[in-house]
Chains A and B, each alone.
Chain A
């Protein structure tokens, strides 16, 4: 009896959590007459890919397609990932492998800057971007997201570096490997999985970001996907089929990446809170 109640509660929770995602995908596969019918169907009766065809082939503005926005987003996110991964790896190695005077101060700094409300930085960063002449360029976003993703990336990566047994590097050093060689041939391959996990978080940060992209980019053909979605779909509440198809295409990569690394997210954020 109790077990049934528990399982029932579990099903309710699962329904509440997953339903919107399901509904997004289901709607994107329905023909318009099903979407706008008086009685919504839980499952598409005649599934169709017409909305996907619509957004992938149609021009949202003359000469610019959904795919262009997608590529803008990919470019920004990938550049952010590469830069932040490199810089974070260096910093994480410093923190995990060396004891130096300012180590604790640096760790505190990492914690504190993660708590800076990024929303409060829109105005001064807008000023900086204007001054640097980067307004209305994708590098303005890459720079911004680099700053945003770096503290968490270092925080997370330091655990991976610390997990590599120091003895391996010492052995390599005894065998005559230089510091650079040890780093490249011993530490790097062992930290690589952690670097991938960290990169996914930087990717998601850059991929999802809306406010700065909304503020720093003026030309429609340079919009990233979130801005394009708010601009072309968010205000147009008639074409729900296309909106849901675009949302699905935007969301799926994130969900897939996220599921790959979510476990590390918890340990990163509540680091130290749970013993053992």
Chain B
């Protein structure tokens, strides 16, 4: 009993200075985090709460926002109005289909390019990777402006290319031979196709580089063994490479989904603003309702909330994946 007390007493004495220092240090990390937490709270979390709150009010003038006028509470009326509007269903369908198509195309193209970069010789791989980087680095704004120029209806490269088609072939295939003045962006389906081209062009490099990084980090023996055993490239990919890179693919799919669900800049620039309602997707719909005159901030907020809820569901999936991997490694 005495010895025990003595021992613990000694241990306590030995630990004492260290513990005191630790307790003193303990406050420091929180102090260091304080500015960061304050900024995240004020500029990201608070507005996130605000947008939910605003969606319950009828807000249609800037003076209400400034606080000069009352905010009439309307409960779920904004949501009822949106969800009851057939146009919203069109927008939602556009958004989901667009995101799905873009994620699929980006993943397939990105993965193929990643695999290709892994197989190319060193010089060639560096060259191709550098070119791929260019597409990634180009800002969404200017990248889209260039594609708009490529599809210009008089001097654009694509218009020229289609004019070059033999007239007979062009007429049989498309019903016209003279493409000068053809509005590439007027037909919604064609608009979405070009938007897909622009978005995939911007986003496949990230997938390619990530897949390449993944390929470099896993041992190649298994793939070689499978090849020696007579497996074709298709089999090798699905039976060996893909299972090893599954975590990478999981995260890439989720990130792409999140990004493609809220495409704004490319659409805004390609459509030349928010006038063309036939090509609306959720983020631009929310923006247009709120800021195109007459402003409807409450309604726009409700749409933004719906978009956020969809994305948070996808995010929950993403966080679970990352945490699982941090545990494993």
Contact = CB atoms under 8 A, between A and B. Distances in A.
A215 B32 contact: no
A119 B322 contact: no
A273 B214 contact: yes
Given A119-B262, A121-B44, A273 B201 contact: no
A259 B137 contact: yes
Contacts of B138: 20-21, 251, 254-255
Contacts of A126: 65, 290, 297
B48 to A, nearest CB: 6
Contacts of B209: 262, 266
Interface in B179-228: 201, 205-206, 209-210, 213-214, 217
A211 B287 contact: yes
Nearest to B291: A215
Interface stretch (A45-53, A109-117, A162-170): A109-117
Contacts of A71: none
A243 B148 CA distance: 11
Interface of A is mostly: helix
Given A18-B135, A40-B160, A147 B304 contact: no
A1 interface: no
Contacts of A88: 36
A274 B209 CA distance: 13
Contacts of A9: 116
Given A121-B48, A131-B67, A254-B139, A210 B268 contact: yes
Contacts of B135: 16-18, 20-21
Given A23-B149, A143-B43, A208-B141, A262 B133 contact: yes
Which one of B40, B139, B150 has the highest number of Cβ atoms from chain A below 10 Å of its Cβ?
B139
Interface string A13-38: 11111101101100100000001111
B155 A124 contact: no
A101 B290 CA distance: 41
B248 A273 contact: yes
A240 B152 contact: yes
Interface residues of A, number: 100
A7 B120 contact: yes
Interface stretch (A57-65, A92-100, A190-198): A92-100
A93 B32 contact: yes
Contact of B301 (A40, A124, A128, A147): A124
B307 A128 contact: no
Contacts of B328: 275
A103 to B, nearest CB: 8
Contact of A119 (B152, B305, B307): B307
Interface string B261-288: 1101100110011000000000100110
Contacts of B42: 147
A210 B29 contact: no
A208 B140 contact: yes
Given A40-B160, A108-B319, A240-B155, 20 more contacts: A13-B132, A17-B134, A20-B138, A106-B33, A117-B262, A117-B307, A124-B48, A124-B54, A131-B65, A151-B44, A208-B141, A210-B265, A215-B291, A226-B139, A230-B141, A234-B269, A258-B137, A262-B137, A269-B210, A273-B210
Interface of A: 3, 6-7, 9-11, 13-18, 20-21, 23-24, 27, 35-40, 87-88, 90-91, 93-95, 97-98, 100, 102-103, 106, 108-109, 111-113, 115-117, 119-128, 130-131, 143-144, 146-148, 150-151, 154, 179, 204, 207-208, 210-211, 215, 226, 229-230, 233-235, 237, 240, 243-244, 247, 250-251, 254-255, 258-259, 262, 265-267, 269-276
Interface of B: 25-26, 28-30, 32-33, 35-37, 39-40, 42-48, 50-51, 54, 62, 65-67, 113, 116-117, 119-121, 124-125, 127-128, 131-143, 145-150, 152, 154-155, 157, 160, 201, 205-206, 209-210, 213-214, 217, 247-248, 250-252, 255, 258, 261-262, 264-265, 268-269, 272-273, 283, 286-287, 290-291, 297, 300-301, 304-305, 307-308, 311-312, 314-315, 318-319, 322-323, 325-326, 328-329
Q: Which 6 pairs between the two chains have the least Cβ-Cβ distance?
A: A147-B43, A124-B50, A258-B137, A91-B36, A124-B47, A14-B131
